[in-house]
Structures are given as C-alpha cells and as structure tokens.
Amino acid sequence: MGTETPAVYIGVDVGSTTTKAIAFGENGESLAVGSQGYAISRPRPGWAVQDAREWFDAVDASVAALAETVDLGTVRSIGITSQVDTHIFVDEALEPVTEAFSWQDVRCAAEVDAVNERLGEAGRIAEWGAPDPLDASNPVPRALWLAANDPAAWARTRWVLFPKDYVNARLTGSVATDPFASFKTATPVPDYVLGVAGAPGLPERLAPLQWPEEVVGRTLADWHGVPAGTPMATGSMDGMGNTLGSGLREPGDAMVILGTSVIGGSVGVGGTSGPGVANFAPYRGRQVHAGPTQSGGDSLRWWAGISGRSIDDVIAAAADSPPGANGVMFAPHLLGERAPLWDADVRGWFLGLSAGSGFADLSRAVLEGIACSARELMDAVDVAASVPSTVATLSGGGSQSPLWCQIVADVTGREMRRSVEKDTAVVGAAVFAAAVDTGADPWDASRRLVVHDAVFEPSADNSACYEELYALYRQSYAALREVHARMRPE
C-alpha cells in the first residue's frame, strides 16, 4: 500500500519593491525561498508608478528559484497576496494600458478634492458607508484622472486590478478579487459600494468579488513543474496575509509590519469601527482593523540614499545617538500619508536641527519618527478594535534590526514579539493556498505556522523621553498642516 505524497503549498507576496515566494510543507516548514526585486519609478512630483509586467516576471523568477530545490510537481495549490491600493489598468488581453499607479501615487489629489467636495459628509455616508474623505489611492479619483488625461488608455481598459489579481489572471485566465483588498470600495456582502459609480465606466471594470480562500481559477499550463490545473486561491492584500501570517486570532492580538510602509492591525471585539483605519468586513467570525502608512522602511531607504550610506550604515550610526536623538525629530510623510491621517498634502520634515546635530542623530531620528508613525497608527487601530493591544507580532524587513525593534517597542509602549519569517504576508498567502486544498478555516490553519525568535519589551528608562517625543510629533503635524497645504505643487 503506497503512501500519499506530502502536500506542498506555494505562498507568494507581490510587495512594493520585492516579490517573495516560499514553498511550504503541510506542517508549515519552509522548503525553499525565491525572490526578485523591482523599482518604484517617480517620473513627476506626486507620481509613483510600476510596470505590472515586472511583477509577473518577478513572480515567475521567484517560483523558478523554488523549483531548483523542491519538486513542484507535488504542489497542491498556490496563494498570492500583494501590496494594497496599487492599481493596474489592463485591456481584454490582460495587457497593461499604462503604468500601474502605486499606493504611493498621489497625482489625483485635485480629483479627490472635487469628489469629496461634491459628496460632502452626508454623501460619503450614503454612497460609501462612512464619513471619511476619499484619498488619492482610491480607484475612483484614479479612474477620473486617467479618463481625463489619457482617454485612449481609459477606453482600452477592461479591468482595474490589484497586483495579485493581475498575476492570478495571467496564470489562470480568470479575473476575480476579494473584499479585503477592495476594502475602500466593498461592502460586507460582499459587493461594491454605490460610490464607485462616481467614475463613469468604473463599476463594470472592477473584478468580481469572492472570498480569499475561494478558487479563482486553475493554472493553464505547467509552470516550473507545477502541474497544469493546479488551483489558485483568490488571495488578498498583504495586510490580510500579514494578519493570518502573524498568527492573530483573538481580540487584541496585534501586528506591526516594518516594511516599505508600516502596516498595523488588530483583531477587534466585533461590530466596532474607528476613524483613520480600515474596518474590514467580518471574516469567518472575526473582524480585523488595520491600516497602512505611506512610508516606513521607504523613509529609511530614502535617508540612506541621500546621505550616500547603506541602510546598515544608517542603523549602525543610529545606535551611537541616545533615545530622543539629541533633540532631532523626523516625520516620515515623504509622499503624503495614509493611515491614520489620510493627508495627501503633508510632507516629511526634520525638526530640532542644530549646529551640533550629526549623522547619527538624524539617523536615529528617522528610526524614531517611523516608530512614532507606527504608534499613531496602532493607537487608531485600538480605538477601532475597541480593545487595547499590549503585545504585537513584529515582522517586515525592518524587524531584522534589534535596535529598531527595541525603538518600536519603546515608542509604541507595546511588547514586540519578532516573527522568525519576516515576510508574514507570504505565510498568509500559503494559508489561503492550504485552505483551498483542505477546506480548513484559515484562522485555524495559520495559528500553528507562526514562530517568534525574540521578544522586545518597552524600556521603562526610555518611557518619559518617548512620551514627550510622541507628543511633539503629533503637535508638529497639527502646526504644519496648513503650511503643507499651501506648499502643494500645482
């Protein structure tokens, strides 16, 4: 009597600057890893674009790397997550008609203002289900901008997709998305809100909605050893992937992702909401509240680049400056801000510079400023979840620095438990893949996959310093808000 071949699941995350794929065994062990990077181009002020074909090429190369170590003929299913608020406009043949609008792209600020002014708070409640203003990463103002500025491209557009949906469609020929990636436009039913009609022609260009663990389609051909006909999960945004990949389950369970942006989230008590963050539709008996900032590790990358140093050099220098960075403060709003401020006009700043300020002080200020942004986000998440978070799973590229992990713990006042797998969205993608194959509840499947390798507790010695820093951080935003609005480029 033969034994059944152990299952292999592939999880893929199409991130902002890197795609990563991992082949997982059925017990959650990592069997092989592949990755490939790409750039965000900024051809004009406020623009942040990518070539969607580079995403697919990166996914293809990452899975090819898995095949060098693992026999992918035993793959049961595939799950993909991706960056959120990034939109690609494709034609009937799934060919891009323009460069993808990254989540950092704020070119359509004028269209956002016009929509918000036209609707007012009452109109937003009626058409969008909440009073919160639309922002520049919403597909409605982006569609309005494209229709006005490149009508030929808009006319050719058949679908407006997220990165993971584009990759799924290329591999299966089927188009669908999920309500969590579409959190700005979807209802709990799930269905699209009435407000999407604010951009004529947009509703019919949006992908059909289904749950992340449902099959979107099956691979059309053999793919690096993955058999044709292998089911693919619809998948979701990186935030939901990170939620499952961080092992969140009970109310108050929280996560902080130190990636290109900072993502924060928590499981709530259910049926609550709060301003400034996404209050996701209930999913299998649980409700997640989360939000992405506009820049986290991207600010660190920016500072390293303009200072002519490596990221490792910046972090090493930051260790030579004391908590509070000798009075220097940094705000990481280099391309506006998403959660919880949703302010396309705000920009970054250093404050407190003096003749005695050095590279070490500015470097530490960058790490502390991003941590302040994380605290502001997590405080808003707690309000929405109606339960405080005192412990969080920490992951993302920034979590590889013990110094930065400690700074985040100190500034947020939360114990940080670092995930062994820094790319928790990939773990979450594999959870969706496993759910497709086994029918398991993704919340149950995810819990056993998360392993921590270090714990960072808030230091009582630094508490007073960082409470003052955080108060000044928030006060400076309020004081400079009108200044930034007046500085908006025309």
Q: What is the pLDDT of residue 56?
A: 98
Residue 194: inside a domain:
yes
- pLDDT of residue 27 exceeding 90, the answer is no
Q: Of 157-166, 225-234, 440-449, which range is least confident? A: 440-449
Whether residues 329 and 455 fall in one domain: yes
Average pLDDT, the chain: 95
Domain boundary among the residues 178, 208, 234 is at 234
Whether residues 396 and 271 fall in one domain: yes
- Gap between the Cα atoms of 435 and 432, Å rounded: 5
Tell me the HSE value of 205 on the side-chain side, using a 13 A CA sphere: 27
The alpha carbon of residue 260 and the mean position of all alpha carbons in its chain are separated, in whole angstroms, by: 8
- Gap between the Cα atoms of 162 and 407, Å rounded: 33
368 against 84, higher pLDDT? 368
Model confidence at 1, pLDDT cuts 50, 70, 90, reads very low
Whether residues 438 and 479 fall in one domain: yes
86: nearest Cα among 42, 138, 21: 138
The structural domain count of the chain equals: 2
pLDDT in tens, 462-488: 999 999 999 999 999 999 999 999 998
Residue 291: inside a domain:
yes
Whether residues 198 and 275 fall in one domain: no
| Contact (Cβ atoms closer than 8 angstroms) between residue 328 and residue 352 | yes
Residue 225: inside a domain:
yes
- pLDDT of residue 189 exceeding 80, the answer is yes
- pLDDT of residue 3 exceeding 60, the answer is no
What single DSSP character describes residue 6?
Answer: P
pLDDT in tens, 94-119: 999 999 999 999 999 999 999 999 99
Q: What is the pLDDT of residue 199?
A: 98
What mean pLDDT is predicted for residues 262-288?
93
Angle at 367 between CA 364 and CA 368, to 5 degrees: 85
Model confidence at 447, pLDDT cuts 50, 70, 90, reads confident
Domain boundary among the residues 234, 269, 296 is at 234
Model confidence at 448, pLDDT cuts 50, 70, 90, reads low
Whole-angstrom CA distances from 429 to 81, 243, 292 are: 6, 11, 18
Count the neighbouring beta carbons within 10 Å of the beta carbon of residue 168.
28
Whether residues 179 and 322 fall in one domain: no
Q: Domain range for residue 427?
A: 248-486
What mean pLDDT is predicted for residues 333-347?
93
Share of the chain above pLDDT 70, in %: 99
Domain boundary among the residues 234, 260, 280 is at 234
Within the chain, how many helices (H) and strands (E) appear? 13, 22
Whether residues 230 and 260 fall in one domain: no
Q: Of 176-190, 204-218, 353-367, which range is least confident? A: 176-190
What global pTM score does this model have? 0.85
Q: What is the pLDDT of residue 2?
A: 44
> In 3-state terms, what secondary structure has residue 33?
strand
Whether residues 348 and 411 fall in one domain: yes
Q: Of 2-6, 109-113, 115-119, 213-217, which range is least confident? A: 2-6
**Looking at residue 339, which CATH number applies to its domain?**
3.30.420.40
